[in-house]
Amino acid sequence: MKAHITQRKVQHINKKRWLTFIFVSLVLLTTSCNAKQTIEVLTFEPSNFQVFFYTNKSNPKLENEYLKAILDLKNNYPSQLDNIELTETTIESLKRRSIAEYPALVIVKDGQTISKLSGQASKTDVLKKLKKTVNGEKNSLSAN
């Protein structure tokens, strides 16, 4: 009888070890995947600018404010914004751009970042930033 109880105890301990091992493995796996979290990048090039919109899809309501502003800009300048691309990247590859929060809008000219906007912003704020930056640097965008 005592041997039977001891055997059950050993099985219980082995089961706990396996559960602990599985739990630790899952934690390690999910934390390592976190560094490779996918970021969506919307890119377009009005005039001599490159505009990058980065989103990690963590705040759809806020991201929609940025997207509505980009759509309004496209509606106002259809010929200049006819080639919008959607790609994916990782947080690791974006560290050099110094983006601390998402969504983020980065405007680049001649390889230099000339404007950034990230986090909490209204559609109006984003649209003003896009128009001011692009029109302020070069008045080549004209509504069609």
pTM of the model: 0.68
- The answer to whether residues 89 and 127 belong to one domain is yes
Q: In this model, does residue 102 exceed pLDDT 70? A: yes
Quick one: average pLDDT of 32-43? 73
Q: Which tokens go with 89?
A: 């990247």
* Phi, psi dihedral angles at 86 (to 5 degrees): -115, 125
pLDDT at 134: 67
Q: How many domains does the chain have?
A: 2
Q: What is the mean pLDDT of the chain?
A: 77
Confidence of residue 72 (pLDDT cuts 50, 70, 90): very high
Spatial distance between the Cα atoms of 8 and 23, rounded to a whole number of angstroms:
22
pLDDT of residue 103: 95
21/58: higher pLDDT: 58
17 and 74 both lie in a single domain: no
Flag the least confident range among 65-74, 122-131, 133-142.
133-142
For the stretch 38-51, pLDDT in tens is: 899 999 888 788 99
pLDDT at 87 over 60: yes
Q: What is the pLDDT of residue 36?
A: 62
How far, CA to CA in Å, does 22 sit from each of 8, 15, 26, 33?
Answer: 21, 11, 6, 16
Is residue 81 in some structural domain? yes
Residue 109 belongs to domain with CATH number: 3.40.30
Taken in order 36, 40, 45, 46, is the CA torsion positive or negative?
negative
Domain that holds residue 14: 1-34
